[in-house]
Structure formats: structure tokens, C-alpha cells
């Protein structure tokens, strides 16, 4: 689409959906080609089922007791790790599937218990996230399906592809890198690849795309998970990603309704507030959701955010608000699909409301699916008590269950609910899928500064290069150590590389040593790693790290920085002469950055967000690939 067409569609989408008009604009890539129709792709939630599926839905719903219907609203979670049948964890999950009649399961990766010790940055207490195992995920999902009377909906947060939470799956860049590439075809391909790998595992619902408009530079939890801050761009790429997920055979989810982008609070840690008037919400937060609805999105996930313009009740997040979930989403925006809560274990809800009360309030507000309750059996009791007291009509429960059953029928789960584990080795990862990930990474790289015309880096192979891995903090790296792929890739091109890591705990003496190493080098490459992670509450470099990077900027030799993760972090080091933004932190992105610095691939990304005081949305310096190496 041309730029004015994109803006026109973003404004039209919300008006059309609120008015009850379904308008679907054609998606186009940068070359102007319409996105292809995919045979066998899933249709939206309003599409009719075939006669056999309609009969299955009707007969299944009619045969359900009230307890079985309430169970369908619950979506507990599990970790995708080997789990012996002779464990409390295994028995609890089986009981939820067999006896509580839950509607589905959400797939997490792994978790490792950590001791709550002071003065040790490597632990931090509670648990640390780890990637899970795809065979464990598929085997457990198959077992849950066998134990369940009704087929289960199964979900996962494939925000960076299956490889984001499971080892062996293809790891794709998250949304902001796609926003920098500005090509709907790439978003479509990412969604299709994620969904095809997910279905091979037995996962049927992707909690993606994030269609929040990230216009707050201090947002610690949405950030690179958003396509950017341009409303029309977020709307268009979100629709393309949804089409891709459908083409891969999964259901897509738009999150976090009604918009999580303009807050500086991580709702895993506290209750956020967006105090904008309704007119601003109509112009910025709501259009991407309206576009997603018009594009046939299957589910919408609520956010744990207060929005007084939509519901003035003090301390009440959108997840528990009937004016927001029923009045706005169902009523004004005419959404017919499933409404999932965000995780009910997040502190924005769980520190104020007990599991039974929170579940009942969410259902009363209009949620169909209670996700990841801290206590699923308590949630069941809370919902049932609310139905028996008349707080929640039994007819509302039946309506939600019908939506859930229809979603299961659209996926064909009434015909086949298990997957073949012997096929996983051919359906996950591999060279061809990795090549797609590498293309997505390369296309999003954005050169925002090159004051000395140093990119690509022009150095003889024998030059000495100092590489500094500047890391926000040393603990919690669930996807492997930062720079583990950057350093080998750099050494392939310039073998004489001396690499050092600088964290928030690097001492002054160690920094002095780094300065001496740098003084003896012919060029300096800096990798800046600032993560966007739930429960972290952190998104900055330390004062000592900033001081070191500022000093590097004064050197009379090539100094090039690559920012991985939070792009706003570079605002703290504006003196850097050359800066390349990579938006995400994983192996393929590190390799793509080195190839771009070496001139082996072109650089063509443009900022999907503004960097306050530095550069506007759309800024980016273009660099062609070198014709000879």
C-alpha cells in the first residue's frame, strides 16, 4: 500500500467495525503484489462450519453438564519439559483434563527454580525461564488430549516463532524488526511458518500478533513485541500476520486489548494506567484491533490495564471490566470470536483479587477463557458460585462454551486431536526455515547513524578489532549468552578480534583494562544488549556502561555499535558515530548484523518508532551490499 492508503485504511477500519461493517482491504507487499489465497487456510470466527461440525458442536454442548461447561472456560498452563507420570505435577495436569474438563492448555517453555539469595545477580529468587523441549510439548499435549472427554484447545506465545519458547523450533524476530522491514509479505511468511511448526506440535492457538501501538519509549514489556508506533503500519502488519497464521492452520490472537503500548508499567509487576480520553483511544489504541477483527482474527486477549475513559471503576483492569470486554469489544466492535484473559497469575490481578474472585469477575465481564489461573480449581468454584447466585447467567456460560466448541471444530479437532511425534524432526527447524528467519532478520536491520561513513566496515582482514559486549545484566539469559554467535561471525571476517563483556557489575579496574585493549585496536565494534523481559522492570544501561560508550565515541578510529533488543536504549548514548538497530536478541539476528557490517547484505530498515530527540518514525540510512568482497 502507498503511505496515504495505509493511513486511510487504519482510520477506516475502526469506523467500519464499530459500525458493524466488515471491510477487508487487500494486503500488498512492497512490490505491490496482493497476498495469495492459501488453499485450506482457516476462515475467521464468523465463517459457517460444515454440517458435520455444526452437528458435533450442537450435540456436544447439549450433552454437557453445568460443571463440564464451566470447566471449558479454564485454560491452565504446563511446562514443556519431560514430566514423569509418577509426579504430583503430572497427576495434577491429568486431573484437570479428565476431571475438571478444562477447555485447553497453554504451553510454556521450561523453568528452573532459583534460590532467593542476596548479593548474587545470577539467581534472583523464584524461577528462571528456560526454553522447553518440542517432543515433551507434543507428547504431553497428546496425553492431555487422550484424557479429555472433549478435544482441547492448546495455545502458546509464539511471538518469535516456535523457537522462542522451544528448542529446535525456528526462532523468528519479534514484531518490531518486521515493522522496520515494512513489508506485509514478510509478516505473512513469519505467521505461516510459526503456525505450521506449532500445529506439528499439537498447538492450535497462537497468542500473536501483538497489535499494541508502542508509543511510550519507557514501555518495559511491549516495546519490541509491537510492530511500532505508526497506527496504520501496526494495523497492516497485524492483519498480514493473522493471514499467515491462518495459512499455517492455527488460530490467531490480537493482544493486549484495548491497547498496552502507552504505559511504563510491566503488568507482570503492577497495575498499569492509560488515562487518555476516548477520542485518543479511538485514534491510536483501537484501530489495530478493529483492523484485526475485520481481518478475521480468531481471538482477542485482554490486558490488565486500567482505562478510566472506558471504565472509571478504581483499580479495575480491562480483564475484569464488562464495559470494556462486553460493551466495547462485543457491542461496539462486533467481535464474534474468543476472548482470552491475559495470564491471571500476573501481579496486576493476582495481588489484588483471589483466584476464585478474579475468574468470576473476568467471566462476568465477558471473557470466554480464563488463562493460567494461579489455582484452576478455585477459579472453577468461583465461576460456579457466581452462576448459582445469578451473578453470571447460565446462558452466558453456554454462549462462551459454544464459541470454544466452534473454534475447536474449525480446527478439525472433533476429527483428529493428536499429532505424530515421529514427524517432528521434519516439521521443525532445519536449513530452509532458518533461511527464512535470516531473511527476516536482515530486512529489519536499521542504520540510524553513520556520521563518519564507516558502515559497512572497511578493514583489511588482518586488522585488530576490539569487540565489547555491553550487557544490561548478566543473569536470566534464557536464549543463551549474548554475543555467542556475533563473536564467531566477526572472527570469520577479521580473525584478530579481542572480545570483552561489560555488565552492570563490571568493576572500575576492569573497565580501565578494557580501555587499554581498545586503544591498541584498529576498530571498535560494540554490541549493546538491553532486553525486554517480563518481571524484569529494567530496560537501561548502567551509568558506568554509558560513560564507557561515550568515551568510545571520542576515539579517532572506526566505532560502530549494534543495539540488540530495546532500541530506545541508544538514546542514552547519542554521541556514538554509527548505530545499527537489530531490535531482537538471538543467534540469527547476531549473524545478520555481522553480515550487514561486513557489507555482505544490504541495510534497508526504517524506524517503526521515534527515538525522542534523535530520529523520527521512518528514518533510516540505506546501504547496498558490496558488489565484491
Active site residue 106: no
As a dihedral over the C-alpha atoms of residue 482, residue 487, residue 488, residue 491, rounded to 10 degrees, the angle is 180
Catalytic residue among 342, 372, 375, 472: 342
Asked if 599 and 564 count as a contact pair (C-beta separation under 8 A), the reply is no
Asked if 577 and 571 count as a contact pair (C-beta separation under 8 A), the reply is no
Active site residue 268: yes
Asked if 379 and 72 count as a contact pair (C-beta separation under 8 A), the reply is no
Q: How big is the CA angle at 340 (ends 290 and 258), to the nearest 5 degrees?
A: 35
Q: What is the phi-psi region of residue 403: left when phi exceeds 0, alpha when psi lies from -120 to 50, beta otherwise?
A: alpha
The secondary structure of 22-74, three-state, reads: CCCCCCECCCCCECCCCCCCCCCCCCCCCHHHHHHHHHHHHHCCHHHHHHHCE
Return the closest-CA partner of residue 386 out of 471, 316, 320, 452. 320
What letter does residue 621 receive in the DSSP assignment? B
Catalytic residue among 268, 304, 414, 584: 268
Q: Which residues contact 390 (CB under 8 A, 6 or more apart)?
A: none
Asked if 521 and 466 count as a contact pair (C-beta separation under 8 A), the reply is yes
DSSP conformation letters of 100-159: S--SEEEEE-EEEE----TT-TTT-SSEEEE-B-HHHHHHHHHHHHHH-SSPPEEEE--B
Cis bond upstream, residue 258 (ω within 30):
yes
What letter does residue 626 receive in the DSSP assignment? P
Q: How many helices (H) and strands (E) does the chain have?
A: 21, 19
Asked if 626 and 456 count as a contact pair (C-beta separation under 8 A), the reply is yes
Q: How far apart are CA 252 and CA 378, in angstroms?
A: 29
Q: How far apart are CA 293 and CA 330, in angstroms?
A: 11
Of all helices (H) and strands (E), which one includes residue 502? strand 497-502
Q: How far apart are CA 572 and CA 368, in angstroms?
A: 43
Asked if 376 and 76 count as a contact pair (C-beta separation under 8 A), the reply is yes
Would you name the residues annotated as active-site residues? 268, 342
Amino acid at each position: 500500500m502507498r503511505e496515504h492508503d495505509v493511513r486511510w485504511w487504519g482510520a477506516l477500519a475502526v469506523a467500519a467495525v464499530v459500525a458493524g461493517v466488515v471491510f477487508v482491504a487487500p494486503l500488498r507487499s512492497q512490490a505491490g503484489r496482493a497476498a495469495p489465497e492459501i488453499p485450506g487456510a482457516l476462515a475467521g470466527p464468523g465463517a459457517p462450519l460444515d454440517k458435520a461440525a455444526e452437528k458435533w458442536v450442537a450435540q456436544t454442548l447439549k450433552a454437557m453438564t453445568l460443571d463440564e461447561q464451566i470447566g471449558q472456560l479454564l485454560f491452565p498452563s504446563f511446562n514443556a519439559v519431560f514430566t514423569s507420570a509418577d509426579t504430583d505435577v503430572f497427576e495434577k495436569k491429568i486431573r484437570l483434563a479428565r476431571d475438571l474438563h478444562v477447555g485447553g492448555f497453554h504451553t510454556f517453555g521450561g523453568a528452573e527454580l532459583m534460590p532467593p539469595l542476596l548479593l548474587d545477580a545470577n539467581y534472583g529468587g523464584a524461577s528462571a525461564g528456560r526454553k522447553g523441549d518440542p517432543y515433551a510439548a507434543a507428547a504431553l499435549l497428546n496425553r492431555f488430549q487422550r484424557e479429555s472427554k472433549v478435544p482441547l484447545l492448546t495455545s502458546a506465545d509464539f511471538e518469535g516463532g516456535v523457537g522462542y519458547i522451544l528448542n529446535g523450533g525456528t526462532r523468528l524476530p519479534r514484531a518490531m524488526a518486521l515493522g522496520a522491514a515494512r513489508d506485509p509479505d514478510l509478516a505473512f511468511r513469519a505467521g505461516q511458518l510459526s503456525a505450521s511448526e506449532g500445529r506439528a506440535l499439537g498447538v492450535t492457538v497462537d497468542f500473536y500478533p501483538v497489535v499494541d501501538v508502542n508509543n511510550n519509549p519507557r514501555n518495559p514489556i511491549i516495546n519490541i513485541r509491537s510492530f511500532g508506533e505508526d497506527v496504520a503500519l501496526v494495523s497492516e502488519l497485524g492483519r498480514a500476520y493473522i493471514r499467515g497464521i491462518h495459512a499455517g492452520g492455527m488460530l490467531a490472537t490480537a493482544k493486549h486489548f484495548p491497547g498496552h503500548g502507552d504505559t511504563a508499567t510491566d503488568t507482570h509487576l503492577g497495575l498499569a494506567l492509560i488515562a487518555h480520553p476516548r477520542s485518543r483511544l479511538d485514534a491510536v489504541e483501537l484501530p489495530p484491533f478493529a483492523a484485526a477483527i475485520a481481518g478475521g482474527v480468531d481471538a482477542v486477549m485482554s490486558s490488565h490495564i486500567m482505562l478510566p475513559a472506558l471504565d472509571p471503576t478504581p483499580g479495575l483492569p480491562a480483564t475484569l471490566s464488562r464495559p470494556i470486554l462486553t460493551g466495547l469489544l462485543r457491542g461496539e466492535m462486533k467481535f464474534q470470536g474468543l476472548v482470552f484473559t491475559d495470564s491471571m497469575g500476573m501481579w496486576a490481578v493476582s495481588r489484588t483479587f483471589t483466584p476464585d474472585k478474579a475468574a468470576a469477575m473476568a467471566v462476568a465481564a465477558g471473557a470466554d477463557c480464563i488463562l493460567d489461573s494461579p489455582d484452576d480449581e478455585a477459579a472453577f468454584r468461583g465461576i460456579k458460585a457466581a452462576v448459582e447466585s445469578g451473578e453470571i447467567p447460565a446462558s452466558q456460560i453456554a454462549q462462551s462454551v459454544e464459541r470454544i466448541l466452534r473454534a475447536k471444530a474449525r480446527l478439525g479437532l472433533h476429527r483428529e486431536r493428536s499429532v505424530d511425534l515421529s514427524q517432528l524432526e521434519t516439521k521443525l527447524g532445519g536449513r530452509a526455515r532458518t533461511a527464512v528467519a535470516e531473511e527476516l532478520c536482515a530486512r529489519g536491520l536499521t542504520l540510524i547513524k553513520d556520521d563518519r561513513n564507516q558502515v559497512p566496515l572497511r578493514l583489511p582482514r588482518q586488522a585488530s578489532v576490539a569487540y565489547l559486549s555491553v550487557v544490561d545484566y548478566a543473569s536470566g539469559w534464557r536464549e543463551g549468552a549474548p554475543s555467542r554467535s556475533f563473536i564467531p561471525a566477526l572472527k570469520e571476517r577479521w580473525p584478530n578480534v579481542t572480545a570483552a563483556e561489560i555488565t552492570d557489575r563490571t568493576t572500575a579496574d576492569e573497565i580501565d583494562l578494557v580501555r587499554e585493549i581498545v586503544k591498541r585496536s584498529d576498530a571498535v565494534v560494540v554490541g549493546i544488549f538491553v532486553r525486554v523481559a517480563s518481571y524484569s522492570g529494567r530496560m537501561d544501561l548502567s551509568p558506568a556502561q554509558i560513560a564507557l560508550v561515550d568515551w568510545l565515541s571520542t576515539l579517532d578510529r572506526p566505532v560502530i555499535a549494534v543495539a540488540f533488543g530495546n532500541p530506545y536504549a541508544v538514546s542514552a548514548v547519542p554521541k556514538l558515530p554509527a548505530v545499527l538497530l537489530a531490535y531482537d536478541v538471538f543467534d540469527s539476528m547476531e549473524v545478520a548484523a555481522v553480515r550487514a557490517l561486513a557489507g555482505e547484505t544490504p541495510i534497508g530498515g526504517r524506524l517503526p518508532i521515534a527515538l525522542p530527540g534523535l530520529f523520527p518514525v521512518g528514518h533510516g540510512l540505506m546501504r547496498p551490499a558490496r558488489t565484491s568482497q
